[in-house]
């Protein structure tokens, strides 16, 4: 029986979350801690789709800024997300959680392709489905990938676990008076260019009425609090 507010969620973690206190790459101890929190959520009966970014390894924009072809660099970024997905799969399976990785770039030696109906079956069987390689196209981000999978898998919410504890009206790092929203409308996020997710991801969630819950995943136990409707967060939703 689920003890959470939701039956099925999409959890989006930025790649940076996997690097722990390192400056780059994957910290297996930190991935293991994350996996434990995901296992506890799954054990409560929740169906979990997972999308992990690639920013801890490679971002297309960074490559393009240094003179690389943007599309080429973006494909490298997508491959980085597959590495993160495999790292998380490994950590979850060590805890006895059954998982499947489905990649938008086909890679049949390491994972399944994205097949919605198959993903549906995995979720029904209690497996965590990790969607890798974003939408499978350059000029997008894994936020858009997360919004797309949340829509097609009919998730009740998109939980964005990141390093800040919500959405602010200005940058809290540079403005001590920055105010965190409890709830905020999709259109305000888009019009005021608030830093939540990229515009295509926000618009996709708006058009499909998927609430976006932004919270800090760096705080231990926060995922469980958020799933119980507690904890510090911002909810991006209709009519807020
Ligand atoms: N990317 C892409 N298309 C997608 C998803 C990702 O081109 O559908 C590339 C893009 O270069 C991006 C990189 O993969 O910078 C890593 O993803 P992202 O920046 O979203 O990772 P995060 O910031 O969440 O760690």
**What CATH number was assigned to the domain covering residues 8-236?**
3.40.1160.10
Residue 156 CA to ligand 1 center (angstroms) comes to 23
Residue 139 backbone class (left: φ over 0; alpha: ψ -120 to 50; beta: rest): left
- From 134, 146, 214, the mutation candidate for ligand 1 (largest count of ligand atoms within 8 A of CB) is 134
Residue 59: phi and psi, rounded to 5, are -120, 135
Please enumerate, by residue number, every residue annotated as part of a binding site for ATP: 12-15, 55, 59, 162, 168, 171
| Mean model confidence pLDDT for the chain | 95
CA of 15 to the centre of ligand 1 (A): 9
Atom index in ligand 1 nearest the CA of residue 12 equals 24
pLDDT for the residue 3? 64
Neighbour tally for 127: CB within 10 Å: 18
> What's the CA-to-centroid distance between 193 and ligand 1, angstroms?
19
Whether the Cβ atoms of residue 180 and residue 236 lie closer than 8 Å to each other: no
Q: Which ligand 1 atom minimizes the distance to the CA of 75? A: 7
CA distances from 163 to 56, 72, 90, 160, 229 (A): 13, 28, 23, 10, 19
Nearest to 18 by CA among 50, 62, 56: 56
- Per-residue pLDDT of 182-207, as tens digits, reads 999 999 999 999 989 999 999 999 99
Q: What is the pLDDT of residue 171?
A: 87
Q: How far apart are CA 146 and CA 157, in angstroms?
A: 11
pLDDT at 172 over 60: yes
Give the mean model confidence (pLDDT) for residues 84-111. Answer: 98
**For residues 169 and 102, what is the distance between their CA atoms, to the nearest angstrom?**
36
Q: What digits encode the pLDDT tens for the residues 11-65?
A: 999 999 999 889 999 999 999 999 999 999 999 999 999 999 999 999 999 989 9
Residue 1 — pLDDT band, cuts 50, 70, 90?
very low
Distance 44 CA to ligand 1 centre (A): 30
Question: Residue 143 CA: which ligand 1 atom is closest?
Answer: 20
Q: Whose CA is nearest to atom 16 of ligand 1?
A: 54
For residue 186 the two structure tokens come to 């999709």
Question: Cα separations (Å) of 237 from 45, 49, 154, 157, 183?
Answer: 24, 20, 16, 10, 7
Rounded to the nearest angstrom, the distance between the alpha carbon of 207 and the centre of ligand 1 is: 22
Measured in angstroms, how far is the CA atom of residue 1 from the centroid of ligand 1? 35
List, chain by chain if needed, residues with CB within 6 Å of any ligand 1 atom: 14-16, 53-55, 59-61, 74, 77-78, 80-81, 134-135, 137-138, 140-145
Return the residue whose CA atom lies nearest to atom 14 of ligand 1.
Answer: 77
The full set of domain ranges for the chain reads 8-236
| Ligand 1 atom with least separation from CA of 142 | 20
For the chain, the first-to-last Cα distance in angstroms comes to 30
170 CA to centre of own chain = 23
């Amino acid at each position: 029986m689920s003890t959470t507010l939701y039956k099925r969620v999409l959890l989006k973690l930025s790649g940076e979350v996997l690097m722990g206190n390192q400056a780059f790459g994957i910290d297996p101890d930190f991935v293991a801690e994350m996996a434990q929190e995901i296992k506890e959520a799954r054990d409560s009966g929740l169906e979990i789709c997972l999308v992990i970014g690639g920013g801890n390894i490679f971002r297309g924009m960074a490559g393009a800024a240094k003179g690389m072809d943007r599309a080429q660099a973006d494909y490298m970024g997508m491959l980085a997300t597959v590495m993160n997905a495999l790292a998380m799969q490994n950590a979850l399976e060590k805890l006895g959680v059954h998982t499947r990785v489905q990649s938008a770039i086909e890679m049949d030696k390491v994972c399944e392709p994205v097949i919605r109906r198959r993903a549906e079956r995995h979720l029904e069987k209690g497996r965590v489905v990790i969607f890798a390689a974003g939408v499978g196209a350059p000029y997008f981000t894994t936020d858009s990938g997360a919004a797309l999978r949340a829509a097609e898998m009919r998730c009740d919410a998109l939980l964005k676990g990141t390093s800040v504890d919500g959405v602010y009206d200005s940058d809290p790092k540079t403005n001590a008076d920055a105010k965190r929203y409890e709830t905020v409308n999709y259109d305000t996020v888009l019009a005021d260019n608030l830093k939540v997710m990229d515009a295509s991801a926000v618009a996709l969630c708006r058009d499909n009425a998927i609430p976006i819950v932004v919270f800090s995943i760096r705080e231990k136990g926060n995922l469980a609090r958020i799933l119980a409707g507690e904890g510090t967060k911002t909810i991006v939703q209709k009519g807020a």
